[in-house]
Structure 1
Amino acid sequence: MIARDLLLQTAAALRHAQRILVITGAGLSADSGLPTYRGVGGLYNGTTTDGLPIEMALSGPMLRRDPALCWKYIAELGKACLGAQPNPAHYAIAQLQRIKPECWVLTQNVDGYHRAAGSPDERLIEIHGTLSPLFCQSCGAVDPQLSEHLHRPMPPLCKQCQGVLRPPVVLFQEMLPQRAIETLYEEMAKGFDAVLTIGTTASFPYIHEPVLRARVAGGFTAEINPQRTDHSAAMDVFLGCRALEVMEELVSHI
């Protein structure tokens, strides 16, 4: 059971904040039926059926060396994402962005659910990219037909030049999208009055840094997660639950 005073404290802080950053991870989309990347039922646990660590199978070097093998696992992720849809917590976050015109979303998720739920492109930072549209690594042609390719032999090939297609997603051992990183640091430089993390362990430095910066500047920080993380104790508020259980009510008080 969520402590109501903590929920109301969080709502009050967000209500009075002007610049807000919502950071989301796999735990948010778990309520849509997607597996989280680590932990119980994790998509990336252990080794693959090919006997390789998932970090090797689903990497940039593997896409170049053995595109069919890499695409086998990209396709698993693609089918999972296309087989589900945004949940009420995604819609609540989009509603928060409508209420607060300086509310940003920084997501590690590649499923595209924030955009589908109505989060505006101009205040959405997809730091690990997205699964569509596909593009050709040889000629650059864009192919929006991800779902069709998932039911065809792998890897998917370009209709123009027969080059191997890929999604604009960050695979293991690849660089983060330059524009996304630039946008994140531009907005962090302006400061955030409140930072809310949802369904993430915030283990990457670029995910945890906005929380640290807000805390140092005297801003409000809160975490929504079923399990405590390494950062929970330092948050102003920790709500030990799934986002689906609390986000709609939280936003209703704002």
Structure 2
Amino acid sequence: MERALERVIEHLSRARSVLFVTGAGISAESGVPTYRGIGGLYNGKTTEGGVPIEVALSGSMFRRKPELTWKHLHEIEQACRGATFNRAHEVLALMEGCFERCWVLTQNVDGFHKAAGSKNVIDIHGDIHDLRCTRCEFTERVKDYAHLAPCPSCPQCGSVVRPEVVLFEELLPPEKVAVMERELTRGFDLVFSIGTSSLFPYITGPVLEAAGRQRPTVEINPGRTELSDVVDVQLQMGAVAACEALWAARDKWKRG
């Protein structure tokens, strides 16, 4: 493991631009379950009503029975309530000031990267704390869902409100896809995959593309994924421990 860390430090010392692709594993040490769906809880199981979670949390179900989708959104949010960013999120935010370009592409909806101080964040699946009306222009930022009705309605027009997240079957937000594509087109000297199960093509894509361009790639994950045999270096450890180790060695790689 020590040799693997040294190799990552060498890559960091040469990089002027870095991309961190993060998944549920980076928030696991904050107490957020690494479950399926919007940050998850069910891990492939059906809900108590016998409906697969992918169906309960789908765009079509929300249109037909928003109260059912909201039931599970409330359960998910409550399971995460009180959690906050951890040292791994903090380190990535600190690293933003160490390179000419540094971005985070995350599939998480917990908002921890921005809360920890990262400014260049593409939260491709949205943020569970941002709400919007399904009809009018009403939006609201909430700390948690404790004050929300079981199926909240808009205070302006009375229509159903929803979190600004990507439900199953829904397309990714065009404006965030545009930012992602713009930055990926510019390219990165070094790409990290941290705590992702590497299931979505737009999450694995940046790593595979960097590998194809012969740019160094690093995976930080206590387990193995489909990317483990593709990356240059795999740190088989938790996100907090790995990020702490890299930050502790910043004198060896930090520019300026």
Q: TM-score, normalised by structure 1?
A: 0.92
> Could you tell me which residue of structure 2 aligns to residue 231 of structure 1?
227
- Supply the AA of the counterpart residue of 1:164: V
Residues in 2 aligned to 1:215 and 1:112: alpha-carbon distance in whole angstroms:
28
Could you list the runs of 5+ residues in structure 2 that have no partner in the other structure?
251-256
Q: Does structure 1 residue 192 correspond to structure 2 residue 217?
A: no
> Could you tell me which residue of structure 2 aligns to residue 99 of structure 1?
98
Q: TM-score, normalised by structure 2?
A: 0.92
- Supply the AA of the counterpart residue of 2:235: L
Residues in 1 aligned to 2:79 and 2:6: alpha-carbon distance in whole angstroms:
35
> Could you tell me which residue of structure 2 aligns to residue 221 of structure 1?
217
Q: Helix, strand or coil for the counterpart of 2:164?
A: coil
Moved more, 84-93 or 138-147: 138-147
> Could you tell me which residue of structure 1 aligns to residue 3 of structure 2?
5
Q: What whole-Å deviation, never above 9, does each CA across 1:157-176 have from its counterpart, x for those lacking one?
A: 11111111111100001000
Give the percent of matched residue pairs that are identical in Structure 1 and Structure 2.
46
Alpha-carbon spacing, 1:146–1:62, altered in 2? closer, same or farther (3 Å): farther
Residues in 1 aligned to 2:20 and 2:245: alpha-carbon distance in whole angstroms:
16
Aligned length: 246
> Could you tell me which residue of structure 1 aligns to residue 88 of structure 2?
89
- The structure 2 residue matched to 1:135, chosen from 132, 135, 151, is 132
Where do residues 151-166 of structure 1 align in structure 2 (5 Å cutoff)?
A: 151-166=147-162
> Could you tell me which residue of structure 2 aligns to residue 26 of structure 1?
24
Q: What whole-Å deviation, never above 9, does each CA across 1:168-196 have from its counterpart, x for those lacking one?
A: 10000100011111111111111111101
> Could you tell me which residue of structure 2 aligns to residue 205 of structure 1?
201
Q: CA deviation at 1:151?
A: 4.2
Q: Does structure 1 residue 182 correspond to structure 2 residue 178?
A: yes
- Supply the AA of the counterpart residue of 1:24: T
Q: CA deviation at 1:143?
A: 2.4
- The structure 1 residue matched to 2:35, chosen from 28, 34, 37, is 37
- Supply the AA of the counterpart residue of 2:6: L
Where do residues 36-115 of structure 1 align in structure 2 (5 Å cutoff)?
A: 36-38=34-36, 43-45=41-43, 46-115=45-114
Q: Aligned-pair RMSD on alpha carbons? A: 1.4
Moved more, 232-241 or 104-113: 232-241
